[in-house]
A and B are shown apart, each in its own frame.
Chain A
């Protein structure tokens, strides 16, 4: 499933529309520790996290994460909003906890 289809069909709030909406989302990855995510976040993955700062975006960009989904109602801070738009990274937001958010995305991309 493409990033743009996840944006449309997940029903989640769109925080930033990235420039990669035609990329495929291949898997789901959950982690809040940046250097663990740096080492393991799959390219083309949907990364579920509660950390919404600029470093999350830097790691997403370097690992070629397809999109970030902020769980537990967490938000991007102002610097992170600017960075997301500058780097063209897709960010969605969910009010649900990490596990439920990940499960929903997993079901969606494998439907």
Chain B
């Protein structure tokens, strides 16, 4: 991560009432810094999808956001089960979400595609049984 403002969050697993708090906090911060509404929206979308994925699929994790004058980096790290086939997981419509979270409106299989679409750079590093790290960058 480069120089800039660094924000860190702990995302508890399986707590849907709190999911979105970290993304909401970052969004408020970016608005306060008067970044363009488009950048704020893209960061909010990408980060929320990553955050909620950690809650649903990986029992929570940590998020580090770094805000520099040129870009915003988001690193989402979890110790979940990992993703067996990243290419497949990135496809629109692919989801292994269980019924209980589908009933809440999740499971369209659009989270990772949204993250890809709304960021300028995205990298998924994953090891089965060890965890997943998603790194995203949005240029300002």
Contact = CB atoms under 8 A, between A and B. Distances in A.
Partners in one complex: yes
Interface of A: 32-39, 43, 49, 51, 53-56, 58-59, 61-64, 79, 83, 87
Nearest to A39: B114
B104 A51 contact: yes
A79 B20 CA distance: 14
B48 A38 contact: yes
Contact of B108 (A36, A62, A64): A36
A81 to B, nearest CB: 12
Specify which of A35, A43, A63 lies most central, judged by the most chain B CB atoms within 10 Å of its CB: A35
Contact of A58 (B24, B107, B111, B118): B24
B37 interface: yes
B105 interface: yes
B136 to A, nearest CB: 15
7 contacts: A35-B114, A37-B105, A39-B110, A43-B37, A54-B16, A59-B48, A61-B20
B45 interface: yes
A55 B20 contact: yes
Contacts of A83: 17
Interface in B3-26: 16-17, 19-20, 23-24
A35 B48 CA distance: 9
B118 A39 contact: yes
A37 B106 CA distance: 10
A38 to B, nearest CB: 6
A62 B48 contact: yes
Contacts of A34: 52, 104-106, 108
A36 B20 CA distance: 16
Contacts of A59: 20, 48
Given A39-B117, A55-B104, A62 B110 contact: no
Contact of A63 (B17, B41, B49, B109): B41
A55 B105 contact: yes
Interface string B15-59: 011011001100100000000010001001100110010000000
Contacts of A58: 19-20, 23-24, 48
A63 B20 CA distance: 12
B36 to A, nearest CB: 12
